[in-house]
Structure formats: C-alpha cells, structure tokens
Structure 1
Amino acid sequence: MNQIPGEFRTLDNKSLTPEEKHLLECQNQRMVSEHKANLLEIQAKKHWDLFYKRNETRFFRDRHWTTREFTELLDETNPQQERVLFEIGCGVGNFIYPLVKDELNLQIVACDLSPRAIEFVKSNPLYDPNKIKAFACDITTEEVFDNIQENSTDIITLIFVLSAIHPDKYTKTLQNIYKILKPGGVLLFRDYGLYDMAQLRFKAGHKIADNFYMRQDGTRSYFFSTESIKEIFERVGLKVVVNDYMHRRTVNKKENVDVPRIFVQVKAEKPV
C-alpha cells in the first residue's frame, strides 16, 4: 500500500493520536540506505539463522490459540480423514507441536528459511518423520517444489511470516502457495497490522520503505492493512473469505507491560 507522506489512515477502532502521528513522521527523517536495504535482502537467511543461534527455542511461545482462531484445523465434519498441513516459516515448531499434542489427524509438512530452525524442529522429542516432514527452503523461490508437490496440501499456514519477506516478493510467494494448495484448499494467515505498537516504536534509521522496517538484529517486518493483503491474495487467484483486524493486548504483569496490538487475520481459499 503506497502511503502519502504525512497522511495516516485509521483502522477499525483505531485512531492515531497526535503523538503516534509524530512518531511515524519522525521515522521518515532518516531512512535505511538503498545499499543497506539490498544487503539486508541478500543476508536475510543469515540474519534468521543468527536469530535462532542466539535464542534457540526460547524466544517464541507455543501457539495454543490456533485451533480456536482457525477452526479449519479441527475438521470436525470428517475427523477420520487425514489431511496435509503445510506450515511456512515454522521456526522451531511453536505452531505444529501443539497440534501434534492435540492428536489431530494431520500429515504435517513444515519449512523455514533458517536451517538452524529446522534442526531445532527435528530435535524435538515429538518429531516423528512418519508424520512430520521438515526442511529448509526459501518459499519465494522454486526450490520449495523440491520437497512438496503442486496441488498436494489441504491447509497452508502463514503465521507472522509474510511480514519478514521483502514486499517485492509477495506475489511470487503467494503464487507458489497457490500452486501447492489443492483446489478447495485453505490458506490461514495472521500477521502484523498497520499501526501496530511494534510499528509505532521504530526509531529513525529503521524504515526501509512504506510500512517496512529493519529490526536491530537485521530481520525485517512489514505491517499490513486489510486492503493491501486482500489485493495481494486476489492478485494470484485466491478467494478471500475472512479479512479482519484483530485487536489484542500484550500483557506482562510482572514487568508492568500492557500494550495494544493490531494483527490482520485472513482465511482464503483456492477456487475449485
């Protein structure tokens, strides 16, 4: 989404305060250089590998909310039929292993850009190569098809992953996803929403482009509007069924933290 400098759109139940508008304006005072931005793209795999080297399995919590938010994972209409789930950007397995513990009838395929993250997935005691296939790949390229066939998956999950990819590669990424989904298959998506707290907190020197930022560790994050994500999905032929802003709060009573969060949640289908 192209945004006019100095003009800030508002979301459902979210109006920017003068202070928040000022924070966004300050981000434009010093941008990431073109050379640095290109280097971040070239070294994306390296930065994520270093992230998992530093944090190992400690950074992200297991995602126990997924079956509540995405009831498609349960398939209560035909629980005896095994389905194929492909998680893109699996990290160390915080999404897939709660599903394994729930004993859902799923054949799981999982990939991540970071080979080190895949090592952690495979070292988990719950890893069963008869039920889980995990591999490292760049989902924005054709190499993903070395490990998974076209029209082979019932469900694909893209949870806080697309935001870490350069916007120029969104179309190619979604084209690959479209090819991998079976006709009638579903894509489940959640990611950072426009004007989320994390976006407002970026200082000058971290903005790469509109709504696209560099973190201190070299990883990157994009912040989506519902309009922009709908346009990206429909561009490759996906049918958007649900497309909402999710307003949540991050609460840590021990550290006296209570901040609002904004996510975008989408369910999209590959037409039959």
Structure 2
Amino acid sequence: MASFQRKGLQTRILSTEEEEKLKRDEALVSAFKQQKLEKEAQKNWDLFYKRNSTNFFKDRHWTTREFEELRSCREQHPLYNAERCKVFQCDLTRDDLLDHVPPESVDAVTLIFVLSAVHPEKMRLVLLNVYKVLKPGRSVLFRDYGLNDHAMLRFKAGSKLGENFYVRQDGTRSYFFTDEFLAQLFVDAGYEEVVNEYVFRETVNKKEGLCVPRVFLQSKFRKPPKDPAPTTVSASL
C-alpha cells in the first residue's frame, strides 16, 4: 500500500468510463426511503459494529504520525493515564456534549471517518457541538473520504441519496468530501482553516492483480484563540 500527500491539488481525475458510470447513476433514492434511513441510522450502525466487532477495524498507528497534536496530548499532560478514560455514547447531531464534557476543556478533537456518516444537513450541528468543548486555539483533526475515492465508484445504481452522498446495502451511509465543501463547513461554524489537503493512496491486491485508487481528505481546523483582555487606561485631569 502506497501513501502520498500533495498540497494544492484537486481530487483524483476520473477516467472516461468512471465518469460515464457516475452519470448513469444520477437517480436518487426516494424521499420516503431517505427518511426511513435517517430514522434508522443509529440502528444500522449498531448492527454494523455488532457484525464486525473488532475484526473490521485495525489499530490506527498512523494517527500520531499524521497528527502530532495527539502525541503531545498523551505525552505532555501530567495527569494522563492510559488505563483511565471517560467513555460515553453520544449522537453528535442531537446530544449536547456539555452534558459530559466541561466547556472549553478539550485539547484535541478527532473526527476520523465520522462526519461522512452524518447527513450533510446535520454536519454543521456536529461542528458546533464540538466547538463548545474545544479549548480556544486548539484544533479538530479530520480525516475522511474524498470525492472520487474508489469506494464512491463501487456503489450500484439506486444507492445515491444526494450530491456525493450514498447508502450501502446495510443501510449505513457515506458522504465523499471536497476540500472546498469541508472548508466552508468549518468556517461557517466559526473555525479557522489550518490544513486541508487530499491524500492519495493506492491499495494493491497482488493476489487478484488489482490496484485501486483511494482518496481521502486530511485536515486541521482551529478554534480561534481568545483575544487578550484589553488594557484599561485611566487618566485624570
């Protein structure tokens, strides 16, 4: 598996065959089914995790390599204890994080293949929810599916929910981001853009002789630091 990152490039250019496939799959899932999928989103993801358990997900050793903020949070905080952490279940589009986390107390937030599972109309709610608990001057560390990723082209006809938004056979959904859309989403929620780049990969299956192109978006968006308190100047005449 090869990995490389380029700055200032657009997403992967599709072949003529790939472009034609996307054009053929323009029909959207009915409004009734879309409402049903939204209503059953939590149930579908619960079933997904139950089926896959720990077999589907591998240790993400690359996270501390790509996001140095995570290493500093772990190694420079004097109270860090790897055996103790607070775990709670939360719907970021609906449940208030302040019910579990003090305001402006979090050093770093990771949204790694999280936002793509949220309906685009509710993504801003997630970012506003996170904003309340993040310390000023600290960042959200983001990685997720990019536009024209191979996974996007594997969807069969009848899987499209909206622009860049698809449903899998198990009812779970996935959005494929452009850098422009993601940046606007964060900026509108009050964040500052630090890094926002496409990551291109090639996944090779030597046994089957396949090489498939992967596209991800890797980004950092910062909550603006608080302005220092203004200096009070008094004068008497």
Task: Give the shorter-chain TM-score range.
Answer: 0.7 to 0.9
Cα distance change on mapping 1:54 and 1:81 into 2, 3 Å: closer
Q: CA deviation at 1:219?
A: 0.3
CA distance in 2, matches of 1:106, 1:168: 36
Structure 1 pair 71–80 and aligned structure 2 pair: CA distance change class (3 A) = closer
- Aligned residue in 1 for 2:19: 21
Q: What TM-score do you get using the length of structure 2 for normalisation?
A: 0.86
Query: 1:43 is matched by which residue type in structure 2?
Result: E
Secondary structure of the residue that 1:75 maps to in structure 2?
helix
Match of 1:241, SS? strand
Contact 2:11-2:215 at 8 Å conserved across structures: no
Counterpart of 1:191 (choices 113, 119, 144) is 144
Which stretches of structure 1, 4 residues or longer, exceed 6 Å deviation after superposition?
Answer: none
CA RMSD for the aligned pairs?
Answer: 1.9
Point out the more displaced range, 255-264 or 133-142. Answer: 255-264
Contact 1:154 1:186 in 2 (8 A): yes
Larger Rg: 2
For residues 200-230 of structure 1, the C-alpha deviation after alignment (integer angstroms, 9 at most, x for no partner) is 1111100000000000110000000000000
Q: Does 1:61 align with 2:14?
A: no
Q: How does 1:141-180 map to 2 (within 5 A)?
A: 141-180=94-133
Aligned with 1:32 (options 23, 29, 34) = 29
Residue deviations 1:227-256, cap 9 Å, x none? Answer: 000000000111110000000122333454
TM-score by length of 1: 0.75
- Contact 1:163–1:222 (CA under 8 A) maintained in structure 2: yes
Out of 195, 217, 220, the position equivalent to 1:264 is 217
8 Å Cα contact 2:12-2:215 kept in structure 1? no
User: Quick check: 1:246 aligned with 2:199?
Assistant: yes
Contact 1:246 1:263 (8 Å CA) reproduced: yes
Counterpart position of 1:137: 90
Q: Distance in 2 between matches of 1:229 and 1:204?
A: 26
CA offset at residue 12 of structure 1? 2.8
Q: Take 1:269 and 1:218, find their aligned partners in 2: how far apart are those partners?
A: 33
Q: Say which structure, 1 or 2, has more relative contact order (CA 8 Å, 6+ apart).
A: 2
Report the counterpart of residue 81 of structure 1 in structure 2.
77
Distance 1:245 1:79 in 2: 28
2:180 partner amino acid: E
Secondary structure, aligned partner of 1:22 = helix
Count of residues in Structure 1 that have an aligned counterpart in Structure 2: 217
**Equivalent residues of 1:26, 1:203 under 8 A apart:** no
In the TM superposition, residue 260 of structure 1 has moved relative to its aligned partner by 0.9
Give 3-state SS (helix, strand or coil) of 1:133's partner: coil
| Residue ranges of structure 1 left out of the alignment (5+ in a row) | 1-10, 83-104, 108-125
Residue 218 to residue 231, structure 1, CA distance change in 2 (3 Å): same
| Partner SS for 2:211 | strand
> Which letter does structure 1 place at the counterpart of 2:138?
G
Deviations 1:173-206 (A, max 9, x none): 1001111101111110000001111111111100
